[in-house]
Amino acid sequence: MAEFIPSRQVQALPDNYFTSIDHRIHSVVSKGIDIIHLHTGSPDQPTPKPIIQAMNQAAQLHKNQGYPPAGGKTGLKEAIRAFYLREYGVSVDPDTEITVFDGATVAISALPQTMLNPGEIMLTADPGYPLYFACPQLAGAETYGIPVRAENGFLPDYRTIPENILQKSKLLMLNYPNNPTGAMATKEFFADTVAFSKKHHIPVVHDFAYAAFGFDGRRPLSFLQTPGAKEQGIEIYTLSKTYNMAGFRIGFAVGNASIIRALSQFHDIDHSDVPSAIQDAATAALLGSQQSVQELCALYEHRRDILVSGMRAIGWDVVAPQGSFFCWFRVPRGYSSEAFANVLLERAHVAMAPGAGFGTHGDQFVRAGLLESEERLKEAAERIKASGILKETPVQN
C-alpha cells in the first residue's frame, strides 16, 4: 500500500498525550489486571433523563432534520443568554455575543487559527491542559507557558513574562477551575487579567469547562463577571461536564463581539454546525431544573474528600483541590511524575496521569480524577498502601 506524507503542519503536531497514557494502561489491562482508572477525564455519571427526552423529541421534528443555522439556533442562543443572566448576572446579546460549536475542544483548536498569525504567541499557564500547547501550532504560532506554583494558587503572574515574549503575544488562554490543578480564580486575579489585557491589547479566552464544580462552599467565578471583561475577551462553556453530555459534543462561547464573529466564521467553514436535536437538548439543559448539577457537584466533593483523606491516611501528604473534578497530587520526593505514575500502575494497579504531560512545571505532580465510584477510590488508597511504594526510597537511574 502506498505511503503518503502528511503536511509539515501535521508532522509537527505532538501525539495526543491522553492517547499515549491509554496505550500504556491498555498494555497492563490486556494482561487481565484490574486497573482503577484515575487518569481519565470522561464523566462517569449518566446524562439527566429530561435532557435525553428533549433530544429524542427534537429528533422527531421535521424542522430539525435539515441543516441547522450557522452559529446556533435562536432558541439555544436565547437559552444561553438566560443562563448567563441567571447564573452569573452577565448580560449578553444573542445576536452578536454568542456562538455555538460542536464541543469546547473545537473552539480551543479554532481560536489560535482565528486570532493568531504565524510567529505570534499564545500565553497560557504551565501546567495547563495539553491542547493549549499543541493547538497554536495549527496556526504556525507558538505557546508560552507562564509558570504557576502552588504557593500562588496556581495563578499566573503576568509580571514574570519576558518582554520579548510579551511583544509577540496576541492571545491569552486561561482555565479556572483549572485542569489539572483544581485551582480557582479570584476576583483580584480576573481584575488583574482585564488590566493586563487592556494594557497590552491581548484578547482573553477563558475556558470555563468546570464552571459547575467549586468545593467547600466556593462558587467558580465567570471571567465575564469582572468589570470590563466582556470588552476584552470571551468565555468558552461546554455542557460535557456540567450536564454529563460529553458524548453530545456541544459547547458555546460568549463575550467580545469581534472574537465571537471571527470564531463563528471559522467554525462555519471548518466544522459546519451542531445538529439541531442536540441544540434542543442543550436548551433543555440550560433552562431546566439545575438540581442534577447541584447533586453532581456534591458527589464530586464527596469523592474528593474520600480520595484525599484516604491518601493522607496512608502517609501521602496531598492537597485537596478547590474545584473541577481533578486532584493534583505532589509525587513523593525522589520521583518524577512519569516514574511515579509507572510505579503506581505496575505495582498498585492504579492509573494516574503524569504531570509532565501538562507542561514543564507539572513534573512533580500526578493528576487523579474523581470519576470512579467511592468504593474504588477507597480501594485505590488501599492498593497504594499495600504496594509499599510510599515507604520506599526510589532507585535513581
Helix (H, G, I), strand (E, B) or coil at 125: strand
Q: Are residues 309 and 226 in the same domain?
A: no
Given a contact cutoff of 8 angstroms between Cβ atoms, the answer to whether 139 and 108 are in contact is no
Strand partners, 237: 252
Considering 272, 287, 302, which residue would you say is the last residue of a domain? Answer: 287
Pairwise CA distance, residues 7 & 4, whole Å: 10
Residue 2 lies in a domain: no
Q: Are residues 246 and 302 in the same domain?
A: no
Pairwise CA distance, residues 203 & 198, whole Å: 8
Q: Are residues 277 and 351 in the same domain?
A: no
Residue 3 lies in a domain: no
Residue 253 lies in a domain: yes
Q: Are residues 125 and 268 in the same domain?
A: yes
Given a contact cutoff of 8 angstroms between Cβ atoms, the answer to whether 174 and 125 are in contact is yes
Given a contact cutoff of 8 angstroms between Cβ atoms, the answer to whether 266 and 108 are in contact is no
Q: How many CA atoms lie within 13 A of 319 on its CB side?
A: 16
Q: Are residues 242 and 379 in the same domain?
A: no
Pairwise CA distance, residues 209 & 97, whole Å: 18
Pairwise CA distance, residues 381 & 327, whole Å: 14
Residue 27 lies in a domain: yes
CATH number, domain at 346?
3.90.1150.10
Strands (E), the chain: 36-37, 98-101, 121-126, 142-147, 169-174, 204-207, 233-238, 251-255, 326-330, 350-351, 353-354, 365-369
Q: Are residues 22 and 131 in the same domain?
A: no
Considering 228, 256, 287, which residue would you say is the last residue of a domain? Answer: 287
Q: Are residues 26 and 128 in the same domain?
A: no
Pairwise CA distance, residues 227 & 191, whole Å: 7
Domain interval for residue 81: 49-287
**Torsion angle, alpha carbons of 291, 68, 113, 131, to 10:** 40
Given a contact cutoff of 8 angstroms between Cβ atoms, the answer to whether 112 and 90 are in contact is no
Q: Are residues 305 and 318 in the same domain?
A: yes
Q: Are residues 93 and 161 in the same domain?
A: yes
Pairwise CA distance, residues 234 & 98, whole Å: 9
Q: Which of 144, 152, 93, 94 is nearest to 119 (CA)?
A: 144
Q: Are residues 152 and 267 in the same domain?
A: yes
Helix (H, G, I), strand (E, B) or coil at 179: coil
Q: Are residues 92 and 136 in the same domain?
A: yes
Burial class (CB in 10 A: 0-12, 13-18, 19+), 299: middle
Number of folded domains that form the chain: 2
389's enclosing H/E stretch is none
Residue 315 lies in a domain: yes
CATH number, domain at 140?
3.40.640.10
Strands (E), 132-209: 142-147, 169-174, 204-207
Considering 243, 263, 287, which residue would you say is the last residue of a domain? Answer: 287
Contacts of 233 (CB under 8 A, 6+ apart): 172, 197, 203, 204, 205, 206, 223, 255, 256, 259
Residue 396 lies in a domain: no
Show pLDDT as tens, one digit a residue, over the chain (397 residues): 899 998 888 888 877 777 778 888 888 888 899 999 999 899 999 999 999 999 999 999 999 999 999 899 999 999 999 999 999 999 999 999 999 999 999 999 999 999 999 999 999 999 999 999 999 999 999 999 999 999 999 999 999 999 999 999 999 999 999 999 999 999 999 999 999 999 999 999 999 999 999 999 999 999 999 999 999 999 999 999 999 999 999 999 999 999 999 999 998 888 888 999 999 999 999 999 999 999 999 999 999 999 999 999 999 999 999 999 999 999 999 999 999 999 999 999 999 999 999 999 999 999 999 999 999 999 999 999 999 999 887 655 4
Q: Three cell numbers at 291?
A: 438540581
Residue 266 lies in a domain: yes
| Residue carrying C-alpha cell 458524548 | 247
Q: Are residues 115 and 246 in the same domain?
A: yes
Q: Amino acid letter at 128? A: G
What pTM was computed for the model? Answer: 0.95
